[in-house]
Chains A and B, each alone.
Chain A
Amino acid sequence: MSSTIRRLATQSILPCIVFALMLLGWEALVRINSIPAYVLPAPSLIGKTLVQDWDTLSSSLLVTLRITFSALLAATIGGVALAVLFAQWRWIERSFFPFAVILQVTPVIAIAPLLLVYLEPETAVLVCAFLVAFFPILSNTALGLASADHNLIDLFSLYHASRWQQLIYLRLPSALPYFLGGLRIGGGLALIGAIVAEIAAGSAGQGAGLAFRIVEAGFRLNIPRMFAALTLISLTGILIYVILSVISWAMLSRWHESARDKT
């Protein structure tokens, strides 16, 4: 275990150095050329703005986090449940899959204004984020459920396993790597969906997320705050990625090829 940590540390030194050098170069560029903050703020100023505006930004961050994770949770439950229904009853798949595709191929930015007509802004944003995160989870899980080893399926029928036994002991575990792949895509998309929908909604006040802060700061030419909000959105994306990678590693590392040590 300690060797794994040491290897991770060694591997992360290089990107950390590159990142620090980039920030330094950026800072130097701004200072040497005296670029005004409303054109390109220096990293130090962005950091300062993050601290100064923390009250506003942190409440917006919480809003974005809440919407993204609620949407991802709903998409996970909905996607997996529907995939299981598809796998158990083919007629359900034939009846409903086209609608899932239609929802997926219609750009969420085009649906958002319509949703805003019918729903509260925060609910509309949630639904948008859900819609984009839902499909990759559904289609990946459905593919995984259908990809169980055909010899194992034969073995299950040899022992007269019921459909539910086959689902629980064979199809669901077979689908796990596919599901986790879909979850990673869905996690990134949930954040994009939330941001896009919020920009479309342009809602202010209590329920304002980070995307609204960007739009608002843009109107006020408060470029450092735009960058500060952008930084938080990036960090949110990274956080989602890390959490889902850790979940994936924890569930697959014992048996799946994708988690095999590459040494």
Chain B
Amino acid sequence: MTSAPLLSLNRISKTFDTSVAALDDLSLDVLPGEFLSLLGPSGCGKSTALRILAGLTKASSGEVVWRDEAARADVGFVFQEPTLMPWANVFQNVFLPMRLRGISMAQATPRILEALSLVGLKGFEKAYPRELSGGMKMRVSIARALVLRPALLLMDEPFAALDEITRFKLNNDLLNLARTLGTTIVFVTHSVYESAYLSNRIAVFAARPGRVVDIVNVDFTGPRDESFRLSPIYLNACQRASSALQSVMTDAELLT
């Protein structure tokens, strides 16, 4: 992971109409193949940073520099809610990105089925979103983001609304997916433990104004499973991320 960054945020600032500085002079590299978490309290601008990465929000100043301009359009996005089209079944939902790219149903079908089996939803093609549990809906959402095999997958607190058991399961499946596909992932979360479990690097954010206060490296190569939660590397990463968070939070924020 010493190669040139896949993309870089260069001195990004973002001010909304309400004149709150959501992001102030943020610089951050995303390295190819890494799992990068953006960790911070709510309102620290981590989601805004992700939306700027995706091109969904324009920065007030600064720029996003891609190593390869073609990769700019090669991005998958998973929202906090599953964000499925309720009128379409699972197959049609996963087909959406390909349909918008003008790929025919015949060409798309094998890739859709493959994406669904990657997230463990083989056989659910004809189900409608309301027939699925929260975790399964999120799996569909991930399959949709992966169906075009993007180089970069952006995830905005995707598991925040799920129960802990489902979240742990999805964490492990996501790690397997990332390893199988080699996808670079930028993952927004407010959970120290989730970020330490998943990431190669954790960018710790502070609020008002939104900025990165520390980058925590989680130097653990090889596959991770539940036993990783007991390893010193994991515990150390949790410790560092927690203290970085606490050092910048005001007393008022800690009370809430």
- Residue B54, interface by CB 8 Å: yes
Instruction: Determine the distance from Cα of A161 to Cα of B55 in the docked complex, in whole angstroms.
Output: 14
- Residue A157, interface by CB 8 Å: yes
Q: Is the CB of B86 within 8 A of A156?
A: no
- Residue B67, interface by CB 8 Å: no
Q: Is the CB of A173 within 8 A of B87?
A: yes
Q: Is the CB of B79 within 8 A of A151?
A: yes
Q: Is the CB of B56 within 8 A of A158?
A: yes
Instruction: Determine the distance from Cα of A68 to Cα of B88 in the docked complex, in whole angstroms.
Output: 33
Instruction: Determine the distance from Cα of A161 to Cα of B96 in the docked complex, in whole angstroms.
Output: 10
Cβ-neighbour of A159 out of B79, B83, B88, B100 (below 8 A): B100
Kindly list chain A residues whose C-beta atoms are within 8 Å of the C-beta of B85: 152, 169-170, 173
Instruction: Determine the distance from Cα of A151 to Cα of B47 in the docked complex, in whole angstroms.
Output: 13
Instruction: Determine the distance from Cα of A176 to Cα of B81 in the docked complex, in whole angstroms.
Output: 22
Instruction: Determine the distance from Cα of A158 to Cα of B56 in the docked complex, in whole angstroms.
Output: 7
Also in contact, A255 and B87, with CB within 8 A (given A158-B56, A169-B99)? yes
Kindly list chain B residues whose C-beta atoms are within 8 Å of the C-beta of A260: 130
Q: Is the CB of A155 within 8 A of B130?
A: no
Interface majority SS on A: helix, strand, loop or mixed? helix
Least distance between B157 CB and chain A CB atoms (Å)? 12
The closest CB in chain B to the CB of A149 belongs to B83
Kindly list chain B residues whose C-beta atoms are within 8 Å of the C-beta of A170: 85
Q: Is the CB of A151 within 8 A of B83?
A: yes
What class of interface size applies to chain B in its complex with A?
20 to 34
Q: Is the CB of A154 within 8 A of B56?
A: yes
Q: Is the CB of B100 within 8 A of A160?
A: yes
Least distance between B216 CB and chain A CB atoms (Å)? 29
Instruction: Determine the distance from Cα of A149 to Cα of B99 in the docked complex, in whole angstroms.
Output: 19
Kindly list chain B residues whose C-beta atoms are within 8 Å of the C-beta of A169: 85, 96, 99-100
Q: Chain A, 59-91, contact with B by CB distance < 8 Å: what is the 0/1 string? A: 000000000000000000000000000000000
Also in contact, A158 and B55, with CB within 8 A (given A255-B128, A255-B129, A256-B86)? yes
Interface size, chain A (Cβ < 8 Å):
21
Least distance between A94 CB and chain B CB atoms (Å)? 22
Kindly list chain B residues whose C-beta atoms are within 8 Å of the C-beta of A161: 100
- Residue A165, interface by CB 8 Å: yes
Interface of chain A residues 129 through 185 with chain B (CB within 8 A): 149, 151-152, 154-161, 165, 169-170, 173, 176
- Residue B5, interface by CB 8 Å: no
The closest CB in chain B to the CB of A156 belongs to B100
Least distance between B129 CB and chain A CB atoms (Å)? 7
The closest CB in chain B to the CB of A166 belongs to B100
Q: Is the CB of A176 within 8 A of B87?
A: yes
Least distance between B155 CB and chain A CB atoms (Å)? 13
The closest CB in chain B to the CB of A177 belongs to B87
The closest CB in chain A to the CB of B56 belongs to A154
- Residue A254, interface by CB 8 Å: yes
- Residue B38, interface by CB 8 Å: no
Instruction: Determine the distance from Cα of A165 to Cα of B102 in the docked complex, in whole angstroms.
Output: 10
Q: Is the CB of A255 within 8 A of B86?
A: yes
Instruction: Determine the distance from Cα of A151 to Cα of B154 in the docked complex, in whole angstroms.
Output: 14
Instruction: Determine the distance from Cα of A158 to Cα of B83 in the docked complex, in whole angstroms.
Output: 14
Interface centre among B55, B56, B81, B101 (most CB of A within 10 A): B56
Also in contact, A158 and B130, with CB within 8 A (given A173-B85, A176-B87)? no
Instruction: Determine the distance from Cα of A131 to Cα of B97 in the docked complex, in whole angstroms.
Output: 41
Also in contact, A155 and B83, with CB within 8 A (given A161-B100, A165-B100, A255-B130)? yes
Least distance between B74 CB and chain A CB atoms (Å)? 11
**23 cross-chain CB contacts under 8 A:** A149-B83, A154-B56, A154-B77, A154-B79, A155-B77, A155-B96, A156-B100, A158-B55, A158-B75, A158-B77, A159-B97, A159-B100, A160-B73, A170-B85, A173-B85, A173-B87, A176-B87, A255-B87, A255-B88, A255-B130, A256-B86, A257-B130, A260-B130
Q: Which residues of A come within 8 Å of B, CB atoms?
A: 149, 151-152, 154-161, 165, 169-170, 173, 176, 254-257, 260
Considering the complex of A and B, which 10 residue pairs feature the smallest CB-CB distances, nearest first?
A: A151-B83, A159-B100, A173-B87, A151-B79, A161-B100, A255-B86, A255-B87, A255-B128, A159-B97, A154-B56
**In the complex, given contacts A154-B77, A169-B85, A169-B99, what are 6 additional A-B residue pairs having Cβ atoms less than 8 angstroms apart?**
A155-B83, A155-B96, A159-B101, A255-B128, A255-B129, A256-B87
